[in-house]
Amino acid sequence: MTDAPGQTDETRLSLPSPDGTTDPWQWLEDVTGDEPLAWVRERNAEAESELDAEPITDELQDQLVAILDATDKIPHVGVHGDFVYNLWTDAEHVRGLWRRTTMASYRTDAPEWEVLLDLDELSEAEGEKWVWHGSQSLRPVEGEPYARVLVTLSRGGADADVTREFDLTTRSFVPEGEGGFVRPEAKGDAVWMDADTLLVATDFGPDTMTTSGYPRQVRRWRRGTPLAEAELLFETAAEDMVASPWHDDSVDHERWGVVQMHAFYNTTTHVLDPTSGELTALDLPRDIEVDIHRGLLVLRPRSDWAYAGRTHLAGSVAVVDLADFLAGDAEPTTLFEPTDKAFLDDVTLTRNCVVLAVLEDVVQRLEVHTRDDAGQWRRTELGLDALGLGRLDSVHVRPYDADADDRVWLDASGFTTPLGLLLADVGDAEFATEEIKTTPERFDATGLVVSQHFATSEDGTRVPYFQVGPEAPDAGPAPTMLYGYGGFEISLPPGYQPVMGKAWLERGGTYVLANIRGGGEYGPAWHQAALKQHRHRAYEDFAAVARDLARRGVTDAAHLATQGGSNGGLLTGNMLTQYPELFGAVVIQVPLLDMKRYSHLLAGASWMAEYGDPDTEDWDFIQHFSPYHLLREDVTYPPSFVLTSTRDDRVHPGHARKFAAALRSLGADVRSWENIEGGHGGAATNEQRARMSALMYAFAWRVVGS
């Protein structure tokens, strides 16, 4: 049953039935329909009228735009041949400049950039709102410069995008009429095979997309051939999640293949024989994460893996030569095994090294594993103190040129430590490190203290969280923002957040980052502990942190706000509906909320490995964490703010619309705001990001700031 378009939420109580059989707000799922968009505009106007009346809003927006458009931020680069490439945005170039310079120039305080593509000019010329989605260079023959690039652009920031061939020599796109590669708008991907051939996964027409809305097919597309006639190499089942091409373009080790993703954490990797077109599936359990680089197969099992006479533990890292593995003559070497304290967070590959980021109670260290000429692996451990960082800071490791040498970029920061860019040679025994770029402080951190604490969840589990705020135990409850995610094995380490710091910390607020189950902070088991019927554990963990903050006297319910987006929006939606007494304000961004219909909306079917299938008996447990279906007439809900994007083609904006509408029908204190652009990130330009953040923080300060 669906209410007719045009019925307003003020006319009567309108809630979905708890069993999910009726949905009075389903008409709001029509993303671009006239009636739903009229409803969106009305809600936007109400929210803006309310929050723009707050003196803080305009001030915050100006401050946040200045931070996001700062000309002294670090221009992060990728290396291709003799140049480093960067996508730059500022006040004059809101969509961005794709540009390049030499490494020698980049090291200076004022690099000389060569502009390759102005996205603002392109958007104006083509009548589009292009958002940069990345580039992929064709590795040239030895001695030749890089000349051709696949550039990927999105309309308004959606996941669906287009790929167009770009000529670095002429600094222009290669026209389709002149044989240039153009992949039309769709969710998908393309990789180079050679100068005249791509491997492509995209929407090839009827029955070529999965039920999750991603490509089923990978084809070999030769220049001059219509895309629809490209040679089919692989097709996965419609019920699988996606099939996509992969390419390791390492010199002397070049490989191609297909990743067949049956579901999250359930993948088969295929290696392509480019001559015969035959694909060989790697004989591995489907829950092993696979990386292939320079002929090295890097394996990360999510469950214990018995192979070649030994067991590789879940959360470990093993390596073996790909050729040996394909030949059946493989004895993987274990580089890392988790302990009761240490767990893998990330892997970075260079020419000769495997760099591991390891977490111990969410405190980071690095391990560098190097193979000598005899094939033996040597381990070097590196603490953050060796990089001049504090114990509660963190680094993100990226290869400089993974095919050429063992240098890595280190993006180093902490909650109160501004971002710095280091270049380190991990192949050097002395681990030589050079500071390349620094950024100034974006907010006043005077008097702020960073600390780590542990809450006890309902089942006795110890849950870590970070706290940043003034050290004033006798000042009474502090306005506090509690943030979490708790899904998809994603870890939340410390890091510099200039927008949050300026809008919240500098004004006297306290910020808390919760490392709840569902994330990856303690390896695969930490994630798996909150899957499907165990989802409630993530919410119990988060509630335990909220209670611990009150127990410690940091804050109380009246001064505690919570914020989360995407899966984190599902988290905060559950805080609103299951733990309303713990919070004074709830911010729900680009969220999943209707867990009865989520698998039928956009990419929702791809997440059933995380949440379960609501069209089966799984609904028996899913309904207990579906916020849309947990709303009740006899509950007083804390003030809430629901934000989404019309152009979000990953998590359907209908989740946010319907939830806000249902809350309004209850007479709850709720406002909603939907940005027309932005995709799943919620905003497509710095101005939009600043606007969204200013509204959100103005709401939080008004509700819990006094």
Where does 477-523 show beta strands of DSSP type E? 480-483, 510-514
The total of other beta-carbon atoms located within 10 Å of residue 494's CB is 24
Under DSSP, is residue 627 helix (H, G, I), strand (E, B) or coil?
Answer: helix
The single-letter DSSP state of residue 95 is S
Alpha-carbon span 556 to 559, nearest angstrom: 5
CA 76 to CA 420: how far, in whole Å? 11
- Exposed, middle or buried: residue 27 (CB in 10 Å: 0-12, 13-18, 19+)? buried
β-pair type (420-425, 560-565): unpaired
CB-CB contact of 704 with 640 (8 Å): no
105 catalytic, yes or no? Answer: no
Side chain identity at 548, as an amino acid letter?
D
Cα–Cα distance list, 459 to 18, 330, 516, 620 (Å): 27, 42, 13, 21
Tell me the C-alpha distance between 206 and 224, whole Å.
23
**Candidate list 394, 606, 680, 693, residue with the active-site label:** 680
From the list 14, 123, 244, 566, the catalytic residue is 566
Read off φ and ψ for residue 323, nearest 5 degrees: -60, -40
Strands of the sheet containing 462-470, edge to edge, are: 448-456, 462-470, 510-514, 480-483, 560-565, 585-589, 640-645, 670-675
Q: Is 80 noted as a catalytic residue in this protein?
A: no
Sign of CA dihedral 65, 563, 438, 354: negative
Structure tokens at 560: 């505690």
Taking the chain, what is the end-to-end CA distance rounded to the nearest angstrom? Answer: 43
Q: Which is nearest to 77 in space by CA: 154, 148, 135, 159? A: 135
Q: Are 298 and 255 in contact (CB under 8 A)?
A: no
Question: What is the maximum span of the chain, computed from C-alpha positions, in angstroms?
Answer: 77
Q: What is the DSSP string of 545-592?
A: HHHHHHHTTS--GGGEEEEEETHHHHHHHHHHHH-GGG-SEEEEES--
340 Rama class: left (phi>0) / alpha (psi -120 to 50) / beta: alpha
Least Cα distance to 420 among 350, 491, 496 occurs for: 496
Cβ atoms of 651 and 680 within 8 Å: the answer is yes
Q: Contacts by 329-337 with C-beta closer than 8 Å and gap 24+?
A: 332/299, 332/307, 332/308, 333/377, 335/367, 335/369, 335/377, 335/379, 336/367, 336/369, 337/313
Catalytic center residues: 566, 680
